[in-house]
């Protein structure tokens, strides 16, 4: 066929172009002051691997000893292709890896294995890490010292490192939803096409780079496999500041969690745009509790979005009319009636003005003139009916803290939701209610939804921790509602 574009097929077993059955596998050796161990480490690579390896890259991170010279000497008699470089300045553990991965990508390698020049990780196991990548089972393979029970301690891992490793790993798994046996091994192998999908340049140059690359793989939905490796602690010098490392990796994972759940600044997140119902101790639970006190009647759900709250109100026996600017998918099946209306404009004249209850849940902060909308909604309540209102608290410690440190920005949810154009403190919302001629029948204040960290109903570590935090938070809400209240809710009577 003339003028057409050739389409290159892919070998499903390797993920590589058809016709190139064997992937190009390379090794990145990161080395710093490894003069006494580098040559021994390279000599331990198994012959079967040496016979097939495409290239070995030794990156000396500006060592103060003869690491570079020993590498050059080894290169002259090496049994495999090897390149030895020395950075003019120390790039850091993460920076050294970045330079090596750039080299691997530029030179067309398909798989790259990270090997430490101090011999702490067994070169003899390198083929175990490569195999799942070559077979297409994984995008990244981590050597774990924790998979074989008791192996880490038997191999000489100090007790304090073992305990710290286990604690940090559990914490990281809890916040990311992973089930890795170890987050802190430096023995890893990656498909380079997976690395190409990560923003490596934005990651740390320090030792927490290894954690950041795991988080990047999780965000990119890459497949991670672990294989067991032996533990060896010898005479190598450890350059890791344990306290700083723990603080850095914990901070990385917390920021990852915040970003995944729409917090932490900016609007980029994997959190769905679908409006989240706030269950149990949240605002929606309170609004439903108030609706349950009423005999079944006519309810107007203003800003009903996809109708999931309205659906729960219908379960209570109410006839629910949904009101929003567009008809979202599924809303027709969840409401008894739907009226399309822009809440920034006067409500339609044909909207029935005899509702038993009008619900304005988390909508006043989304409109330009909340006073006008509130007045319009109040006019739709029959005599003796109620208006239910909820708003987020801009005086909550989270937005206050962000402002105090100069980090104000929009999130995808919460008090700094990217859709909010009005912000309310307790004094501001109560002044607005009074200005609209509304009398407060009942006020309820709910706390921070910490159960988004972990399911507090579960009897596991995450659930137990969140339950304790929730109990503490509810006490703080009672003691200082203006600072710890997450949302303010009001049952209102129209004067």
In this prediction, residue 309 carries a pLDDT of: 94
Residue whose C-alpha is closest to residue 232's, from 142, 147, 154: 154
In this prediction, residue 266 carries a pLDDT of: 47
Structure confidence at residue 237 as a pLDDT band (50, 70, 90):
low
Token readout for 82 is 């090897």
Decide if 31 contacts 38 (C-beta within 8 A).
yes
- CA 237 from centroid of its chain's CA atoms: 34
Decide if 415 contacts 448 (C-beta within 8 A).
no
Taking only the tens place, the pLDDT of each residue in 467-477 is 888 899 999 99
Token readout for 106 is 């530029």
Structure confidence at residue 383 as a pLDDT band (50, 70, 90):
very high
Q: What is the largest CA-CA distance in the chain?
A: 95
* Alpha-carbon span 222 to 97, nearest angstrom: 19
* Alpha-carbon span 447 to 445, nearest angstrom: 7
* Alpha-carbon span 141 to 128, nearest angstrom: 9
User: Which sign does the torsion angle of CA 65, 67, 72, 74 carry?
Assistant: positive
Q: Which residues of 120-152 are buried (b: 16+ CB within 10 A; e: fewer)?
A: bbbbebbbbbbebbbebebbbbbbbbbeeeebb
In this prediction, residue 204 carries a pLDDT of: 94
* Alpha-carbon span 330 to 324, nearest angstrom: 13
* Alpha-carbon span 415 to 322, nearest angstrom: 24
430 CB-side CA count, 13 A: 13
pTM of the entire predicted model: 0.65
Structure confidence at residue 13 as a pLDDT band (50, 70, 90):
very low
Residue 147 is classified by DSSP as S
Q: Is the pLDDT of residue 7 over 70?
A: no
- Other residues' Cβ atoms within 10 Å of the Cβ of residue 326: 9
Q: What percent of the chain has pLDDT over 90?
A: 72
Q: Is the pLDDT of residue 17 over 80?
A: no
In this prediction, residue 411 carries a pLDDT of: 80
Decide if 398 contacts 258 (C-beta within 8 A).
no
Token readout for 404 is 């105090």
Q: Which has the higher per-residue pLDDT, 495 or 52?
A: 52
In this prediction, residue 262 carries a pLDDT of: 67
Taking only the tens place, the pLDDT of each residue in 242-297 is 789 999 999 999 888 877 876 655 444 434 444 455 556 689 999 999 999 999 99
Percent of the chain that is helix, strand, coil (3-state, to 5): 40, 20, 45
Taking only the tens place, the pLDDT of each residue in 332-375 is 999 999 999 999 999 987 787 789 999 999 999 999 999 999 99
Q: Is the pLDDT of residue 14 over 90?
A: no
Taking only the tens place, the pLDDT of each residue in 78-128 is 989 999 999 999 999 999 999 999 999 999 999 999 999 999 899 999 999
Taking only the tens place, the pLDDT of each residue in 426-450 is 999 999 999 999 999 999 999 988 8
In this prediction, residue 272 carries a pLDDT of: 40
Indicate the average pLDDT of the chain: 88
- Other residues' Cβ atoms within 10 Å of the Cβ of residue 383: 7
* Alpha-carbon span 86 to 68, nearest angstrom: 6
């Amino acid at each position: 066929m003339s003028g057409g574009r050739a389409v290159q097929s892919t070998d499903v077993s390797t993920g590589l172009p058809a016709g190139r059955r064997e992937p190009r596998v390379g090794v990145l050796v990161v080395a710093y002051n490894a003069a006494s161990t580098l040559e021994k480490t390279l000599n331990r690579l198994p012959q079967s691997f040496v016979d097939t390896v495409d290239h070995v890259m030794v990156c000396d991170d500006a060592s103060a000893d003869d690491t570079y010279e020993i590498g050059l000497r080894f290169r002259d008699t090496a049994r495999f292709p090897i390149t030895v470089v020395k950075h003019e300045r120390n790039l850091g553990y993460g920076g050294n890896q970045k330079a090596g991965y750039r080299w691997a990508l530029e030179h067309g390698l398909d798989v790259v294995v990270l090997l430490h020049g101090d011999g702490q990780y067994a070169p003899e196991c390198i083929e175990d890490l490569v195999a799942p990548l070559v077979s297409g089972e994984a995008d990244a393979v981590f050597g774990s010292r924790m998979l074989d029970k008791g192996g880490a301690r038997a191999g000489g891992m100090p007790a304090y490192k073992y305990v710290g490793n286990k604690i940090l790993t559990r914490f990281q798994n809890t916040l990311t939803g992973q089930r890795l046996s170890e987050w802190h091994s430096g023995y890893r192998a990656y498909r380079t096409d997976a690395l190409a999908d990560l923003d490596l340049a934005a990651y740390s140059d320090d030792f927490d780079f290894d954690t950041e690359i795991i988080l990047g793989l999780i965000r990119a939905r890459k497949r991670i496999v672990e294989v067991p490796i032996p533990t060896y602690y010898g005479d190598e010098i450890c350059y890791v500041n344990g306290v700083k490392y723990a603080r850095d990796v914990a901070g990385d994972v917390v920021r990852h969690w915040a970003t995944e759940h729409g917090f932490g600044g900016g609007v980029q997140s994997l959190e769905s745009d679908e409006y989240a119902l706030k269950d149990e101790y949240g605002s929606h639970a309170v609004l439903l509790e108030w609706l349950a006190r009423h005999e079944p009647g006519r309810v107007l759900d203003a800003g009903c979005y996809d109708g999931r709250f309205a659906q729960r109100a219908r379960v209570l026996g109410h006839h629910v009319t949904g009101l929003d600017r567009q008809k979202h998918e599924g809303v027709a099946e969840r409401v008894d009636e739907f009226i399309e209306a822009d809440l920034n404009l006067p409500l339609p004249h044909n909207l029935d003005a005899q509702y038993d209850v009008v619900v304005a849940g988390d909508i006043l902060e989304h409109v330009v003139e909340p006073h006008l909308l509130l007045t319009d909604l109040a006019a739709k309540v029959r005599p003796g009916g109620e208006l239910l209102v909820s708003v987020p608290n801009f005086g909550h410690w989270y937005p206050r803290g962000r402002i105090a440190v100069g980090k104000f920005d929009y999130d995808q949810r919460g008090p700094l939701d990217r859709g909010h154009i009005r912000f309310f403190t307790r004094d501001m919302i109560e002044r607005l209610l009074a200005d609209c001629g509304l009398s407060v029948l009942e006020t309820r204040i709910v706390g921070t939804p910490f159960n988004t960290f972990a399911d507090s109903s579960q009897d596991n570590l995450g659930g137990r921790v969140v339950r304790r935090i929730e109990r503490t938070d509810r006490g703080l809400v009672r003691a200082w509602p203006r600072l710890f209240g997450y949302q303010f809710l009001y049952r209102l009577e129209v004067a």
